Amino acid sequence: MIAYRVRLTVQGPILTRSTAIGAYGVDAPVARDTDGRPFIAGSHVKGKLRQALRDLAKADRAARCFAMRSGQAISGTPFKPHLKDWLGGEDHGSGQARARVQFADFRAEEDGVEDAMRTRIKIDAASGTAEDGALQIMETPYAAGAAIVFTGRIVILAPPHEASKIADAIRRGLHWIPQLGGERTIGFGRLLAVEMAEETPVERPWPTPPMPAEDDRLRLVLRFFEPFCIGVAPREDTLYTSDTVVPGGVIKGALAALHNALNSGRPLPEWFDRLRISHLQPVALAPKPAREPFAFADPAALMARLDIRRPRAIPLSVAFGPDERPVDMALVRDPCLIGDGAPAFRPDWKGRHWAQAVELFGIHEPPRRLQLRTEIDDDTRASKTERLFAYETVIPDGHLWVGELDLADVTQDRRGEVVPWLRALTGGTIPGIGKTDALAQVSLGGEGDYVSKAREVEDKALRPLDDGLYVLTLQTPALLCTTDDISAEKNGSAQQRLERAYGHTFDQISGGSLRLYNYFAKQRLAGGPFLLHHYMKNDDYKPFLLTESGSVFVLEVTDKRKRNMVTDLLRDWLRHGLPLPASVKEWHFPDRAGDDDAKLWDRCPYIRQNGYGEVVINDRIHRTHRLPSRHDGEKKAASR
């Protein structure tokens, strides 16, 4: 992986339209980042480059053809850019080709003039006067003729010898681009100069954390340099709304793609599938790090200002009473009132309820930005019809993403290879994350303070609540049962069948040592063409029934003589996530039902190695905000 710092000098005026609403009366506001600085979207530069490389290839062919016919000598090799390999291609059923050249946004080095406007009118062809209602007001922060420098970054995923050839072609293509931004036909955004230089980050020692034999988990921290969009189901087929949580499977996929790009033909290490990367949660960081295109802040300095506690999912058992205070209903099996009113669960929450819950569980929501995209016709150089879509991206400024790297499934004799391999592969950064190919700085830490605090939390969590109950809360979605578990059984209501399915699941994965006492759960189906083609191999369509994060399961020990065994089992779930139940494997992939979860990565994305099935046990809210019951009162009266 080689990064290049690119400076584009553009002649004003220039218009890169924003998707946000501008000032009153402004039809075309300028796109600005969170600091208010105008920018040119990296996707726009990429599209212009694709067009320029295609034109250069045509011109080269035409020149060679002319020289051949006129009998002139032909020198040099033909210019043949591999556009699909370098810049990506359309999905024609076999999956979208991932680009090897990735573009960040290009920020202006000057703010420009605020509230500078320019007007345009349309002239009526018959009367020669201004057409009624055809006045356009555009924001133009830079004067006509001014030279504005936009700075950005291009990352090339290729070995050094190949990357230099790609960089040379990109340099030619950038010089061939005549104009950037909108209003091309009236002279806006003329490209004056291009500077492209390889950028080497400042070398800092990679952390070499200790590898405790009992707890082979390392804190994983990502700092994103640009907005990202982590894939979720699109709305109306044209809007992709990003989740703020980064799944561990996304990071593993980015690492695998980087390895394949830099080491063509060499397989991944055999232990790679057994690595578990948890979902990474956003954590607010103050003060906000300086925004620099590729200059890395010191990981140790960033992590020193970081609270190691990750946000927790809000349990579905939390409700609000008439006094507007949160209470936990996990241990309440029968419907009841809170005081003289009905409890308000999550579907009935208002803004004031969400504000309390978000603060209570330490949840951080980074800002978002809507980014419109469209395909350009090669001949007309205008937007194609019905080819408009949008990303709602997450703005990472002022946040870090925190998770864990779990080595427990890697054999003891190979664990020492993991960190050096990651260091050599990434050099401290992971490119190609999400739909925007975001770049993130990566840092690992396994300091004794982190390990000791994690163990302290575990010890508290594994103390049973009253009557020997354990409350398990999903922090990430989990594949606990199937649609067949519910539909195949005909006795009882759908709710009763679902409860029996969950009961059967926990009986399976606990070896009969735990039974379901109570639960609060939410489900969704995960499927669609992508999962059918890539994971189900175009076989029978069986969408995955996911139990959502925040779902709560109250478990009780079946035999108190097995309490020590149960404690060890729960500790394993707490550290490494829930395994796939045997019934799930038999239903979705019967030919590989006996395989270990780690080997099923190509058939099921929702395995614990990808961060799914993470749990918290006996969260403190189940003690501090528990709803007092009449049964508690009866026990207190009996004790008196």
Q: Is residue 533 part of a domain?
A: yes
CB 440 within 8 Å of CB 426: no
Backbone angles phi, psi at 605, to 5 degrees: -80, -15
- Domain stop point among 391, 422, 448: 448
* pLDDT score, position 554: 95
Confidence of residue 291 (pLDDT cuts 50, 70, 90): very low
At residue 310, does pLDDT exceed 90? no
Q: Is residue 25 part of a domain?
A: yes
* pLDDT score, position 451: 61
Closest to 108 in 3D by CA, of 81, 147, 163, 50:
147
Cα–Cα distance list, 516 to 399, 520, 555, 605 (Å): 38, 11, 5, 26
- Domain stop point among 407, 424, 448: 448
CATH assignment at residue 248:
3.30.70
Residue-wise pLDDT tens digits, 400-440 = 899 999 999 999 889 889 988 998 898 888 999 998 899 99
Q: Is residue 45 part of a domain?
A: yes
At residue 208, does pLDDT exceed 60? no
* pLDDT score, position 469: 92
Check whether residue 506 and residue 429 sit in a common domain. no
Closest to 481 in 3D by CA, of 573, 590, 580:
580
* Distance between CA atoms of residues 7 and 110, nearest Å: 13
Check whether residue 294 and residue 332 sit in a common domain. no
Check whether residue 118 and residue 38 sit in a common domain. yes
Q: What is the DSSP letter of 17?
A: B
**What percentage of the chain reaches a pLDDT higher than 90?**
45
Confidence of residue 557 (pLDDT cuts 50, 70, 90): very high
Check whether residue 347 and residue 369 sit in a common domain. no
Check whether residue 506 and residue 522 sit in a common domain. yes
Count of CB atoms within 10 A of residue 616's CB? 21
Check whether residue 14 and residue 156 sit in a common domain. yes
* Distance between CA atoms of residues 342 and 347, nearest Å: 13
User: Average pLDDT for residues 125-142, to the nearest whole number?
Assistant: 87
Confidence of residue 47 (pLDDT cuts 50, 70, 90): very high
Q: Supply the angle between the helices 563-576 and 448-461 in degrees, to the nearest 10.
A: 130
User: Average pLDDT for residues 82-95, to the nearest whole number?
Assistant: 74
Confidence of residue 637 (pLDDT cuts 50, 70, 90): very low
* pLDDT score, position 295: 39
* pLDDT score, position 35: 81
Q: How many domains does the chain have?
A: 4
Closest to 569 in 3D by CA, of 506, 516, 500:
506
* pLDDT score, position 634: 37
Confidence of residue 317 (pLDDT cuts 50, 70, 90): very high
Check whether residue 596 and residue 551 sit in a common domain. yes
* Distance between CA atoms of residues 334 and 348, nearest Å: 19
Helices of type H across 435-482: 448-461
Q: Is residue 212 part of a domain?
A: no
Lowest mean pLDDT among 91-95, 515-519, 521-525: 91-95
User: Average pLDDT for residues 600-626, to the nearest whole number?
Assistant: 92
Q: Quote the distance between the C-alpha of residue 628 and its chain's center.
A: 40
- Domain stop point among 199, 225, 241: 199
Lowest mean pLDDT among 79-88, 243-252, 547-556: 79-88
Check whether residue 392 and residue 521 sit in a common domain. no
* pLDDT score, position 583: 92
CB 391 within 8 Å of CB 231: no
* Distance between CA atoms of residues 533 and 591, nearest Å: 17
At residue 592, does pLDDT exceed 90? no
Confidence of residue 294 (pLDDT cuts 50, 70, 90): very low
Per-residue three-class SS string for 96-109: CCCCCEEECCEEEC
Check whether residue 370 and residue 516 sit in a common domain. no
Check whether residue 114 and residue 243 sit in a common domain. no
Q: Is residue 620 part of a domain?
A: yes
Q: Is residue 226 part of a domain?
A: yes
3-state secondary structure of 526: strand
* Distance between CA atoms of residues 335 and 323, nearest Å: 19
Closest to 405 in 3D by CA, of 280, 541, 220:
220
Count of CB atoms within 10 A of residue 47's CB? 17
Q: Is residue 399 part of a domain?
A: yes
Check whether residue 138 and residue 273 sit in a common domain. no
CB 256 within 8 Å of CB 313: no
Check whether residue 394 and residue 474 sit in a common domain. no
CB 289 within 8 Å of CB 297: yes
Q: Is residue 607 part of a domain?
A: yes
Q: Which domain holds residue 617?
A: 462-632
Count of CB atoms within 10 A of residue 589's CB? 20
Tokens at residue 630, please? 């009449």
User: Average pLDDT for residues 591-619, to the nearest whole number?
Assistant: 92
